[in-house]
């Protein structure tokens, strides 16, 4: 068993997850990184001296194999997730809805359930879930992602209630616009469409969000940061964004 506290980060092969793994390593955690793209995961793990383990949060057997490799977990960052498409309800692609529910909601439940015994055994565990402002603010075209993130936030808030009196803290972090591969994934690799999301404004970086993850993870044991919403200065609501044309 590690003599340093262990932080497990899902979806650590890119974006907020990769930056969180680096930030947690800098904060003194031994980091275990999970994601599907092994090459990318190995690269990020090497940068932060962490352990890369294959993980598909939508696959029960993969989560069980991942969990079986751990003998300690002090912090779990439920970060794996994302959006697929921007279709209206009238045009909803139910396969996309299903995929969003699988990765954001069931994936988070699956990993949390698998690691809860270790988090409890640590004597001071923490679950930090990366939901989104989409978890409390609906926007046109966002219904599938809104529904999934609302559900992910709901399960996180229920977990906080259910763990009251037990030694596991629960935090929901809700970022606004962050420049990662998120939009590229949402628009199936359409680079122009993805770039247009951030055109003329300054989004958050993955490091901006990761700093909050590390800050939450290093509060004293009696402090539970319940919910954090973090937006770029140029964004005041899900779709209220200040842009400079040019
Ligand atoms: N970027 C934003 O504007 C924004 C805003 C609010 C919230 N968020 C949330 O922040 C989280 C991280 O997203 P990001 O912005 O950093 O986007 P990203 O760069 O696309 O990262 C998503 C990560 O999730 C992993 N992932 C996806 N499906 C997975 C699965 N089935 N099993 C395991 N890992 C999986 C990906 O790794 P593999 O593909 O290698 O598996 C990748 O590492 C997501 O939950 C997203 O909804 C993002």
Question: What digits encode the pLDDT tens for the residues 106-130?
Answer: 999 999 999 999 999 999 999 999 9
CB 51 within 8 A of CB 72: no
Q: What band does 50 get if pLDDT is binned at 50, 70 and 90?
A: very high
Query: What average pLDDT score do residues 133-157 get?
Result: 98
The pLDDT of residue 1 is 63
Q: What band does 245 get if pLDDT is binned at 50, 70 and 90?
A: confident
Closest CA to 29 of 11, 47, 2, 53: 2
pLDDT of residue 5 exceeding 70, the answer is yes
pLDDT in tens, 86-101: 999 999 999 999 999 9
Mean pLDDT of the chain: 97
Specify the fold of 6-241.
Rossmann fold (3.40.50)
CB 21 within 8 A of CB 72: no
pLDDT of residue 64 exceeding 80, the answer is yes
Probe residue for ligand 1, chosen from 10, 11, 109, 175 as the CB with the greatest number of ligand atoms within 8 Å? 11
Residue 16 alpha carbon to ligand 1 centre in Å? 7
pLDDT of residue 2 exceeding 90, the answer is no
Give the integer Cα–Cα distance in Å for 187 and 206: 19
3 state SS of 203: coil
pTM of the model: 0.98
| Closest-lying ligand 1 atom to the alpha carbon of residue 134 | 6
| Closest-lying ligand 1 atom to the alpha carbon of residue 178 | 3
pLDDT in tens, 178-198: 999 999 999 999 999 999 999
Q: Which residues are annotated as catalytic?
A: 145
Give the integer Cα–Cα distance in Å for 92 and 89: 5
């Amino acid at each position: 068993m590690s003599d340093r506290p262990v932080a497990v980060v899902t979806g650590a092969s890119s974006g907020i997850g990769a930056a969180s793994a680096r930030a947690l390593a800098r904060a003194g955690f031994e980091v275990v990184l999970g994601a599907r793209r092994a090459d990318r995961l190995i690269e990020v793990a090497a940068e932060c001296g962490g352990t890369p383990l294959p993980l598909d949060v939508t696959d029960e057997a993969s989560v069980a194999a991942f969990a079986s490799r751990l003998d300690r977990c002090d912090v779990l960052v439920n970060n794996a997730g994302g959006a697929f498409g921007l279709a209206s309800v009238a045009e909803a692609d139910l396969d996309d809805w299903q995929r969003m529910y699988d990765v954001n909601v069931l994936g988070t439940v699956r990993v949390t359930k698998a690691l809860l015994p270790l988090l409890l055994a640590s004597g001071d565990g923490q679950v930090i879930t990366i939901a989104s402002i989409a978890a409390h603010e609906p926007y046109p075209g966002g219904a599938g992602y809104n529904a999934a993130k609302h559900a992910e936030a709901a399960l996180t808030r229920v977990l906080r209630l259910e763990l009251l009196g037990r030694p596991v803290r629960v935090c929901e972090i809700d970022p606004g616009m962050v420049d990662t591969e998120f939009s590229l994934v949402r628009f199936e690799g359409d680079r122009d469409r993805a770039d247009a999301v951030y055109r003329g404004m300054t989004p958050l970086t993955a490091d901006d969000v990761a700093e909050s993850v590390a800050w939450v993870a290093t509060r004293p044991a009696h402090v539970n940061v319940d919910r954090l919403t973090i937006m770029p200065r140029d964004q005041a609501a899900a779709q209220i964004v200040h842009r400079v044309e040019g």
